[in-house]
Amino acid sequence: MNPAPSIVFFTTASGAGYGLLFWLGLLRALGWGAGAPPSFGAAAVLLALALITAGLLSSLAHLGNPQRAWRALSQWRSSWLSREGVAAVLTYPPALLFLSALWFGWPGLAVVGGLLSAAGAVATVYCTAMIYASLKTVRQWRHPLVVPGYFAMAALSGAALLAALAAAWGLRGAVLVPAALAVLGGVAALALKLAYWRAVDAGLPGPTAESATSLGAIGRVRPLDPPHTQQNYLLREMGFRVARKHAARLRAVALAAGFAAPAALALLALAGAPAAPLLALGALLALLGVLVERWLMFAEATHTVMLYYR
């Protein structure tokens, strides 16, 4: 599948934003960071909303008719893409309530707004993941580890960002929890992706050229003449294979720099090393790792329509 930059950036940025919103909303409701200055909480929610909004705007760039995007909110009964849009829109009001409550110092509303924002974040990331996991046409996306992977990556990048922010604000006591969560998120992302890639490399069941053409009764099927000599939309969109040759190296980058390094940096910060620069670097690396992973998620995915072509 073609890794359209707009979608790769969208799922990375909005995933990190929802992860940040989730952890802040949940931890705040549990009493974490109650003594932090209003500017910290407000900055964290604003960063989350900025990432989410930038991602959503970027996803519009993928549309042929972005001015009609509002129509995408109508088919939530059947479409995961529509549900994602609805969940994203519905998460804004509680997030703005949460932002105001943190800024003006309304503790009760901060709990309500935080928990509702966290629920909206989970729902939106779930819908995003299900857009891919519900497609029977792409066996690598249909895999049961795809949805947990989206959650782990949002959790990792969100926790890394929250830890970096807490450290930047000099909240020494408050760094502990998100930094520990970043370690857990990094380990979870690492384990999930290793298991996922092992499963994918072992070969996933799915349709074959024989079942795609109904000619299996005769024997093995292989293409003789293509229907067209030039490119077409299908080949460009579903037949992407430019950088699969770099896949092994990119996987290593995602695992090492993207997931292992942020966890290690968070551990170092927990052990007493200067937290602010380490955690800021960790958050950047986590975002980079998710970006690479998301790119691979597309580049390594194979669509059934290619059974007709090769």
Partner 1 sequence: MTSLPDRPPGAKKLGLVIDLDTCVGCQACATNCKEWNASGHSAPLPDFHPYSAGAEGVWFNRVHSYEAGEGNGGRTVHFPRSCLHCENAACVTVCPTGASYKRAEDGIVLVNAETCIGCGLCAWACPYGAREMDEDSGVMKKCTLCIDRIYNETIPEAQRQPACVITCPTRARHFGDLGDPDSAVSQLVARRGGQDLMPELGYAPVNKYLPPRERSSALTEAKPVEEAPTPMDIANPLLRWMDRVLSR
Among 213, 244, 249, 273, binds partner 1 (CB under 8 A): 213
Neighbours of 233 (CB within 10 A): 8
CB of 278 to partner 1, least distance (A): 40
Q: Is 108 or 205 the residue whose CB approaches partner 1 more closely?
A: 205
Q: Is 202 or 217 the residue whose CB approaches partner 1 more closely?
A: 217
Q: Please, what's the b/e burial string for 83-99 (b: 16 or more CB within 10 A of its CB; e: otherwise)?
A: bbbbbbebbeebbebbb
Instruction: Check binding of 230 to partner 1 (CB under 8 A).
Output: yes
Q: Is 227 or 272 the residue whose CB approaches partner 1 more closely?
A: 227
Residues 37-66 as x/- pattern, contact with partner 1 by CB under 8 A = -------------------------xxxxx
Among 37, 53, 79, 268, binds partner 1 (CB under 8 A): 79
Which helix (H) or strand (E) element contains residue 199?
helix 172-201
How far apart are the C-alpha atoms of 117 and 94, rounded to whole Å? Answer: 5
How far apart are the C-alpha atoms of 191 and 310, rounded to whole Å? Answer: 33
Q: Is 60 or 253 the residue whose CB approaches partner 1 more closely?
A: 60
Closest alpha carbon to 279 in 261, 257, 256, 255: 261
Q: Is 136 or 198 the residue whose CB approaches partner 1 more closely?
A: 136
| Longest Cα separation, the chain | 74
CB of 201 to partner 1, least distance (A): 22
Neighbours of 66 (CB within 10 A): 11
Q: How many residues bind partner 1 (CB under 8 A)?
A: 58
Among 32, 80, 196, 295, binds partner 1 (CB under 8 A): 80
Of 109-117, 195-203, 215-223, 243-251, the window that binds partner 1 (rule: CB under 8 A) is: 215-223
114 CB burial (10 A radius; 0-12, 13-18, 19+): buried
Q: Are 238 and 306 in contact (CB under 8 A)?
A: yes
Neighbours of 244 (CB within 10 A): 13
68 Cβ neighbours under 8 A, 6+ residues apart: none
How far apart are the C-alpha atoms of 212 and 206, rounded to whole Å? Answer: 10
How far apart are the C-alpha atoms of 119 and 137, rounded to whole Å? Answer: 30
Q: Is 34 or 69 the residue whose CB approaches partner 1 more closely?
A: 69
CB of 226 to partner 1, least distance (A): 7
Q: Are 56 and 14 in contact (CB under 8 A)?
A: yes
Among 134, 268, 277, 284, binds partner 1 (CB under 8 A): 134
Residues 169-208 as x/- pattern, contact with partner 1 by CB under 8 A = --------------------------------------x-
Residues 281-310 as x/- pattern, contact with partner 1 by CB under 8 A = ----------------------xxx--xx-
Of 12-20, 80-88, 147-155, 261-269, the window that binds partner 1 (rule: CB under 8 A) is: 80-88
Q: Which stretches of the chain bind partner 1, using CB under 8 A? A: 1, 62-66, 68-69, 71-75, 77-82, 85, 131, 134-138, 207, 209, 211-228, 230-234, 237-238, 303-305, 308-309
